Amino acid sequence: MKYILLQIKADTIVVSSIANEITYSNNFWFWLAIIELVVILVLVFKLSHKKNNLAFSELNKDNLKKSQETDIDMGNVMKSINYSSELYKELSRKCHPDRFINSPNQKLAEEIFQEIARDKRNHEKLTALKERAIKELYITF
């Protein structure tokens, strides 16, 4: 009986020492995980607040990314398909440089006519040129 009691006491001491070890080890891994979490949070914060302005120029990284995503104005493409030929004919007839011979606007008419010929299938640019012709060449449409 005495032997059994001694054995039980010894076992209890062993169990309690193991439990202490587990608590210590738990503490160690817990604090290590906390430190890792802090490091990760710092890195994420740094990444999100990364300096966008390049050091060597006034360019901005966001602007550079946006410039790669050129959005095409499909509405203008459709208008160009449907209306540009008529608008081009009208503009080239009314703004022809031959109508401005020996007038102070001759050079301006030549310049506008060249632009009209270059952008003859771009409705948006032709519309802008029409407005310019109305303002600068005093043409009525």
Partner 1 sequence: MWYKVIQIADWFGEMSERYKLVRDFNKAAKDSFINGQAATLLEAKITWGESSYRHAFSKFMGGGFRIKALSGRPMAKYELIEVGKVVVDNEALVRKLVSLGWDTLEVHDNHGVSGCKWALKEHAHIGGFLK
**Rule CB under 8 A: which residues touch partner 1?**
70, 72, 74-75, 77-85, 118, 120-122
| Ranges assigned E (strand) in 9-141 | none
Nearer to partner 1 (CB atom), residue 9 or residue 66:
66
Nearer to partner 1 (CB atom), residue 36 or residue 73:
73
User: Minimal distance in Å, beta carbon 86 to partner 1?
Assistant: 11
Phi, psi of 101 (to 5 degrees): -65, 135
Among 47, 52, 133, smallest CA distance to 87 is for 133
Nearer to partner 1 (CB atom), residue 126 or residue 133:
126
Output the CA torsion 17→18→20→22 (10° steps). 170
Among 136, 96, 137, 135, smallest CA distance to 116 is for 96
User: Minimal distance in Å, beta carbon 117 to partner 1?
Assistant: 12
User: Minimal distance in Å, beta carbon 76 to partner 1?
Assistant: 8
